[in-house]
Structure 1
Amino acid sequence: MEIVQRNRFLPRPDPDSIFVGDGNFQAVGAEFLGHFIRKGGLLPDSRVLDIGCGIGRMAVPLTQYLDPAKGSYRGIDPVAGGINWCQQMISSAYSNFEFRHLDIAHSLYNPKGEINGLELVLPFDDRQFDFIIMTSVVTHLPDEEVSAYLREVERVLAPGGRLFMTSFVVDQSAQENPFNKRDARLGFQRYDEGPCWFVPELPPLAAVGFDDGFLDNALTHAGLSITTKSFGHWRGVPADHYQDLFIAECKGDR
């Protein structure tokens, strides 16, 4: 992954145009490529779907790993600007990489969107993908939409295919912050009686946490089998990843 991180010829957007996520564009992408391979079992011939692909932070390093003849990548996002950049800078050089703007309404990122997230239907056939990425997606969704997304994920995953999803799980340790090491930006507080936790100083969907167990149940209810649940170091515990991580597998045809 260091080779990817150091590759000065890979496309990277102007820092002012990176509207989703923090950190060094190339370093974060290279880190996640390592997680996809070592934790998620991503293979060079995998058919990949990146939900919430943004401005290509996951796509760029994947151009160096996916087999051009056998592997493929599809990215979707509600923000047209990121999709346009990816089409110009990535698809033009890598024919097995395709990006689509999906006009999903989101109060923060796409307030005028025409597609209600609760009625999401991904524009892909059943059982089309081997590996689905949702990095920093459910961290910006209300609980009802999480379930809608996961139903569609299960539909388009091939039997044995895997979902790689990051999140904020607000368990007792994250709430109480006993060692005073939690990310100071994420002082989550519960919202009404539901499973969601928001950061009072931020817009509601800028950072969303969920009760421990909510995402487990949502994945299971969607028909996915959890193979990995790993807490990230945002909560002040040692970990090699920042957000909390779920990897879940498609059980097969219904």
Structure 2
Amino acid sequence: MNATKKEKLQELSDLQPPSKLIKGHGGETFSQLGHKWVETFKLLADLQPDDTVLDVGCGPGRMALALAPYLGEKGRYEGFDIKPKDIAWCKQEIETRWSKSRFQLVDIKNEHYNSTGTISADKFKFPYEDNTFDFVFLTSVFTHLLPADLFNYLQEVSRVLKPGGSCLITYFLLNESIRNSIQADKARFSFAHNPQPHCYIEKPENPEDAVAYDQEFICNLYSQVGLNIEKPISFGGWSRTVDKNEVRHGQDIILAVKSDSKQIKPSESESNQLPFNNFKNQRNQIKFIDFLSDSDLEELNNILKWNCFVVDSNGRRFGNQAWQGKRSTPQIIPDKRIVLMNEYFSLADKEVLEVGCFEGIHTIGLSQYASKITAIDSRIENVVKTIVRCSLFGHQPNVFKLDIEQDLSNYQELLAADVMHHVGVLYHLKDPITHLLELGKYIRRGIMLDTHYALEEEAKEVCEVAGKQYYYKKYREKGYQDVFSGMYDYSKWLKLDDIVSLLKESGFDKVDIVEKRDERNGPRVLLMAQKS
């Protein structure tokens, strides 16, 4: 390449798009950030001047401008984006001056950037042949994608990469250290809302504004699509967990290499078992609520005296707060314990029995995973609320009024299930011992049990069941009139060792104590019990 072309490409790298285009792409630091990213590509991905490169979500050409003098006439650059003005500027100002570059406009729907798009992101096929690129990068793209869209993009990245090619993608990742930083109010975002398993958002009213994922979940996805993460994750500055002198960029960076072996694509049936493919995005999950007018929703909230609430895609409250300080934030769907339950028992083809459905929050979360849900509760108002809430979320579980402390011999067919969800119920029972001993009759595979328990020094009362003595703590209940209490005047809190031994006696020979925690009313435990 002659000196004139080199000079022109060097001049091109300093070109600045109009200010209205670079807003949101670094503003005054637009060019500086572009050059910094190119240095990152060289450092982490060993980018070479003759590489064929794909820029997914190229915007107004920040990376293209910085890459132009490096790739020159030896390499090749392709970029696509959903913003017409960005692509129009790139085609006019960059493509005409750099013959090895090409920009394409794609009309993908994204509620944050392109709400009128005609192509669904979870079905979009990158406009390139298989095994085309040496290097693919996506910066600040997956931070705006919900799970089904993200997985499709990751599959497409793997498809268009050459064997041995690498990809660099930025995320907001969540792990223990980062969660601790969020809890300490150090991180830039809180990601307090959990609309889908492993997926967390900042704004329920605009889910795709900022999206975070569990780190382990993302790493598992890479292995599913034939991408190997061969270098440590480079964590960004957003979470305030890394020394600022070691931070290169704001978001977390994963670099991966496509396997040299032929990628094995999942069959249609296998693909449908992937954890997020059975979920609609948040807006589809709650579209039935969205159909309600403000006055209809207000009337519904007044007709049924809810004790916990969620929000719809417009940020409107569905449900109420029991009293000041009680359940004062929207409930997470699905609850993190349900996510863990799915990891233990793989619920996709399982029948689940939910004991104590309350107002249907957990029922909705379980419905996102399991093939069939049967939910029971001893209060008729909870049965009605569960049916209403699930219906508005697009789910139709079987919901029944049933007191689990009565004789259940006539209900064995109804109660039979693979897995039981048992949260916040055992410590409200008058006879939890017999209840635990009976569970093995109905449950074929396993139980998730979350309950309060009595400490050794608290268990001063004694009772005898089936010829064996059990010590327990007598707990005063408020009675049927209080929705957060048990059905009787008092309940028995068992010792943790006895809970474990009773589960084993009922046929669940493997019992894992997953978590212990201290709560206002006393110590609490999360158990996973399985039959071999």
Tell me the TM-score normalized by structure 1.
0.91
SS for the counterpart of 1:65 is helix
Q: Map Cα deviations across residues 118-141 of structure 1 (whole Å, 9 max, x no partner).
A: 111111111000000111010000
Aligned with 1:25 (options 30, 33, 37) = 30
Query: Take 1:133 and 1:110, find their aligned partners in 2: how far apart are those partners?
Result: 21
Which residue identity does 1:240 align to in structure 2?
R
Q: Map Cα deviations across residues 37-70 of structure 1 (whole Å, 9 max, x no partner).
A: 01111100000000011111111100021031x2
- Does 1:249 find its partner at 2:257? yes
Contact 2:13 2:66 in 1 (8 A): no
Match of 1:37 in 2: 42
Match of 1:113 in 2: 117
Shift of 1:201: 7.8
Match of 1:235 in 2: 239
Question: Where does the alignment leave 5 or more consecutive residues of structure 1 unmatched?
Answer: 1-5
SS for the counterpart of 1:99 is strand
SS for the counterpart of 2:212 is strand
Query: Take 1:8 and 1:47, find their aligned partners in 2: how far apart are those partners?
Result: 19
Contact 2:198 2:217 in 1 (8 A): yes
Q: Provide closer, same or farther for how the CA distance between residues 47 and 193 of structure 1 changes in structure 2, counting only shifts above 3 A.
A: closer
Aligned with 2:128 (options 124, 128, 138) = 124
Bigger proportion of residues as helix = 2
Contact 1:20 1:54 in 2 (8 A): no
- Does 1:209 find its partner at 2:212? yes
Aligned pairs, number: 246
Runs of 4+ with deviation above 3 angstroms: 6-9, 19-23, 178-181
Shift of 1:18: 2.2
Contact 2:193 2:203 in 1 (8 A): no
Query: Take 2:149 and 2:225, find their aligned partners in 1: how far apart are those partners?
Result: 12
Query: Take 1:96 and 1:193, find their aligned partners in 2: how far apart are those partners?
Result: 41
Query: Take 1:32 and 1:169, find their aligned partners in 2: how far apart are those partners?
Result: 19
Contact 1:164 1:246 in 2 (8 A): yes
Aligned with 2:175 (options 171, 174, 177) = 171
Contact 1:52 1:134 in 2 (8 A): yes
Match of 1:46 in 2: 51
Match of 1:3 in 2: none
Shift of 1:8: 8.8
Question: Where does the alignment leave 5 or more consecutive residues of structure 2 unmatched?
Answer: 1-9, 264-532
Structure with larger RCO (C-alpha < 8 A, sep 6+): 1
Contact 1:225 1:251 in 2 (8 A): yes
Shift of 1:143: 1.0
Query: Take 1:153 and 1:250, find their aligned partners in 2: how far apart are those partners?
Result: 9
SS for the counterpart of 1:88 is helix
Judge which range, 22-31 or 172-181, deviates more: 172-181
Contact 1:173 1:235 in 2 (8 A): no
Contact 1:63 1:94 in 2 (8 A): yes
Query: Take 2:154 and 2:196, find their aligned partners in 1: how far apart are those partners?
Result: 22
SS for the counterpart of 2:195 is coil
Shift of 1:188: 1.4
Contact 1:175 1:188 in 2 (8 A): no
Which residue identity does 1:195 align to in structure 2?
H
- Does 1:75 find its partner at 2:83? no
Q: Map Cα deviations across residues 158-202 of structure 1 (whole Å, 9 max, x no partner).
A: 01100010110022222221765422xx12113235111111387
Judge which range, 186-195 or 157-166, deviates more: 186-195
Contact 2:13 2:69 in 1 (8 A): no
Contact 1:11 1:90 in 2 (8 A): no
Q: Provide closer, same or farther for how the CA distance between residues 208 and 193 of structure 1 changes in structure 2, counting only shifts above 3 A.
A: closer
Match of 2:194 in 1: 191
SS for the counterpart of 2:162 is strand
Shift of 1:211: 1.2
